[in-house]
Homo-oligomer: A and B are copies of this chain.
Amino acid sequence: MSAISIIGTGNMARTIGARAVAGGNTVEIMGRDRAKAADVAQALGGGTTTGEWGTAPAGDIVIMALLYDGVVPVVARYGDALAGKVVIDISNPFNATFDGLDHREETSIAQRAATVAPQSTSLVKAFNTVFRQVLEKGRPDIFLAGDDAQAKKDVAVFVESLGLRPLDVGGLKMAHWLEGAGVVTVGLANHGVGNLDFSLSITELPASATT
């Protein structure tokens, strides 16, 4: 069981929150609008609490369930309140045509957030390749990138509590390529698949075929 704080009150906050409660985790919702946060907390049930915007989250893992352009400012706004926390960035900084990223440099929202967070805060990129409806109804693989091995272990335990498979792709630098995998996922939705009812995953060779 993990103690989770979710910053944000939108669809992803509700969806991750619902799975987190179902997985037996302690959940706190933090919203700029405290009444909205209270509504989400009530909808989630399971003893979900609310916290005051900008103050120290109750959870050891803090999920930024915000639009991508809100993540870096909100991490900066929380500042020292995030000291010692594991912060998960789930965002997709898509460009206007959804075939690339809003930043052209080889960076990511997670890396940029790390530069404004306290040194003792560990950023992990996760959940960004998953459409909300698949996270709600399916069993998608969850790709993780981060520099802190313990933080990734903590996130992996949380992901497993949701009944999902965590898959470590490497250091925080890989967050850029996970954001790229988000671009590929949207490309598939718009071209080769034509809907949102799928997720990027890995398929293992049948044991009979392995060497």
Contacts and interface: CB of A to CB of B under 8 A. Distances in A.
Interface of A: 99-100, 104, 106, 133-134, 137-138, 140-141, 143-145, 166-171, 173-174, 176-178, 180-181, 183-184, 187-188, 190-193, 195, 197-206, 209-211
B174 A177 contact: no
Contacts of A198: 202-205
A137 B169 contact: no
5 contacts: A99-B170, A138-B205, A144-B192, A174-B183, A174-B184
Contacts of A143: 184, 188, 192
Most chain B CB atoms below 10 A, which of A166, A203, A204, A206? A203
A89 to B, nearest CB: 16
Contacts of A137: 205, 209-210
A100 B204 CA distance: 24
B197 A210 contact: yes
A178 B170 CA distance: 18
A187 B169 contact: yes
A103 to B, nearest CB: 10
Contacts of A199: 202-203, 205
Contact of A167 (B168, B188, B211): B188
A63 to B, nearest CB: 20
Given A106-B100, A183-B174, A192 B169 contact: yes
Contacts of A195: 210
Contacts of A99: 170-171, 173-174
Given A138-B205, A203-B198, A209-B138, A169 B144 contact: no
Given A106-B104, A198-B202, A200-B200, A187 B209 contact: no
